[in-house]
């Protein structure tokens, strides 16, 4: 039976990435050694790092004056690295979910945090609108896609101060005007690579302005100057990221991915809205293209566990919603084919015929 992978992260990767990574585990770049045991200082791996950074810049059309670096620690470490490098007197944050709240918590260690708007009043089921970004803050931080709740900010904001974005779960899913951002970061395990590597796109002119001393490993400048090799990088995930970047380029780039993602999401949301058993959990105008969350309607709540087992029996993997919200979540990242979404829709329709 074919398996359809809807896990939110670590999540589905292109077959191209998996096959090439598996081959490199056996024999990397014709060296007769595994990617697992090669020196990161070898010319073969340096070539991987250089190409990954170059392709990252090419696909996102990153202008001059930015660096792409690959680090460890996940997006969670960036919650602290961002304020370490940018926070002087005050920072501004948009609160749209669990991960935004975690970022805010870390920033508060450094001083005053202005939460300019929050959707917590309705359990993060919408993206706040019409907020004012304070011009006296050092930076404004947003989380573009909220994996747990299924909301997404799909337009690049205009900010009067340096804009910082956690794009862990929607990077490369749509074109981004990188020039509007000071820093873009994210864990790679949702739309790029296996867990273990974090990407950071940083504009040089925002660095070097804080008054504090920054620990060496927590300074972006350290990793820019070290070309992501100040310490041993996560070699396998970086190699896998390069394969995904190649796959993206070979499949039409980011604009082509956005088109496919819109198509997949429409198929899924149309069924949620039509089906007698299910209901979406967030405001329609803020629905994510990457994480589609839904629950059973109130009168059918008792069928949730049964539907989960029914779907799993038909090859639907990773549909369970986050433990904090329950229900179901279909993560439709770039590598998920439209056929998987259509298969899930068929499962939902079959279950409806049986139960409604």
Tokens for 179, please give them: 């020039």
Peptide bond into 193 cis (omega under 30): no
Distance CA 344, CA 348 (A): 6
Nearest to 264 by CA among 345, 200, 205, 193: 345
Known catalytic membership, residue 166: yes
Q: How far apart are CA 155 and CA 158, in angstroms?
A: 9
Active site residue 155: no
Residues 6+ apart with CB under 8 A from 183: 82, 86, 139, 162, 164, 165, 200, 201, 202, 203, 206
Q: Report the distance separating Cα 333 and Cα 330, nearest Å.
A: 9
Within 8 A by CB and 6+ apart from 150, the residues are 280, 281, 282, 287, 288, 291, 292, 293, 329
If you search the block for the tokens 């979404």, which residue do you land on? 341
> Which three-class secondary structure state does DSSP give residue 148?
coil
Q: Which long-range contacts link 203-207 to residues 24+ away (Cβ below 8 Å)?
A: 203/65, 203/66, 203/162, 204/65, 204/66, 204/67, 205/65, 206/85, 206/86, 206/139, 206/162, 206/182, 207/85
Catalytic residue (one of 138, 156, 170, 190): 190
Distance, in Å, from the CA atom of 253 to the CA atom of 277, rounded to the nearest integer, reads 37
Closest to 199 measured CA to CA, from 67, 83, 291: 67
The Cα–Cα gap between 243 and 24 comes to 11
Beta bridge partners of 86: none
**Which of 138, 156, 166, 170 is the catalytic position?**
166
Let me know if 247 is a catalytic residue: no
What whole-number distance in Å separates Cα of residue 167 and Cα of residue 184? Answer: 7
Going along 20-77, which residue ranges are E strands? 66-71
Give the residue numbers marked as catalytic: 99, 166, 190
């Amino acid at each position: 039976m074919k398996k359809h992978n809807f896990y939110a992260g670590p999540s589905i990767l292109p077959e191209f990435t998996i096959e090439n990574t598996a081959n490199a585990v056996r024999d990397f770049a014709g060296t007769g050694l595994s990617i697992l045991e090669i020196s990161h200082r070898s010319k073969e791996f340096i070539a991987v790092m250089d190409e990954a950074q170059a392709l990252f810049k090419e696909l996102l059309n990153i202008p001059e004056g930015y660096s792409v670096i690959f680090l460890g620690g996940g997006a969670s470490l960036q919650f602290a690295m961002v304020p370490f490098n940018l926070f002087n007197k005050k920072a501004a944050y948009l609160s749209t979910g669990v991960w935004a709240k975690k970022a805010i918590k870390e920033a508060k260690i450094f001083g005053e945090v202005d939460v300019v708007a929050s959707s917590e009043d309705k359990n993060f089921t919408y993206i706040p609108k019409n907020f004012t970004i304070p011009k006296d803050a050092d930076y404004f931080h947003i989380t573009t896609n909220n994996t747990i709740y299924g909301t997404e900010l799909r337009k690049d904001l205009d900010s009067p101060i340096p804009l910082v974005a956690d794009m862990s779960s929607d990077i490369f899913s749509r074109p981004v005007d990188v020039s509007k951002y000071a820093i873009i970061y994210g864990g790679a395990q949702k739309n790029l690579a296996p867990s273990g590597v974090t990407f950071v796109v940083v504009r040089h002119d925002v660095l070097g302005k804080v008054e504090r001393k920054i620990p060496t490993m927590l300074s972006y400048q350290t990793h820019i100057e070290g070309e992501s090799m100040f310490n041993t990088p996560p070699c396998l995930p970086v190699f896998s990221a390069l394969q995904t970047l190649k796959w993206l380029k070979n499949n039409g780039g980011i604009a082509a991915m956005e088109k496919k993602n819109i198509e997949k999401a429409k198929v899924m949301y149309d069924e949620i809205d039509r089906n007698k058993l299910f209901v979406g959990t967030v405001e329609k105008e803020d629905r994510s293209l990457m994480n589609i969350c839904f629950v059973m309607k109130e009168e059918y709540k008792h069928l949730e566990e049964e539907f989960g087992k029914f779907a799993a029996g038909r090859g639907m993997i990773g549909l369970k919603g986050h433990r904090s919200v329950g229900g179901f979540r279909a993560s439709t990242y770039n590598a998920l084919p439209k056929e998987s979404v259509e298969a899930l829709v068929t499962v939902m329709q079959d279950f409806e015929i049986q139960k409604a």
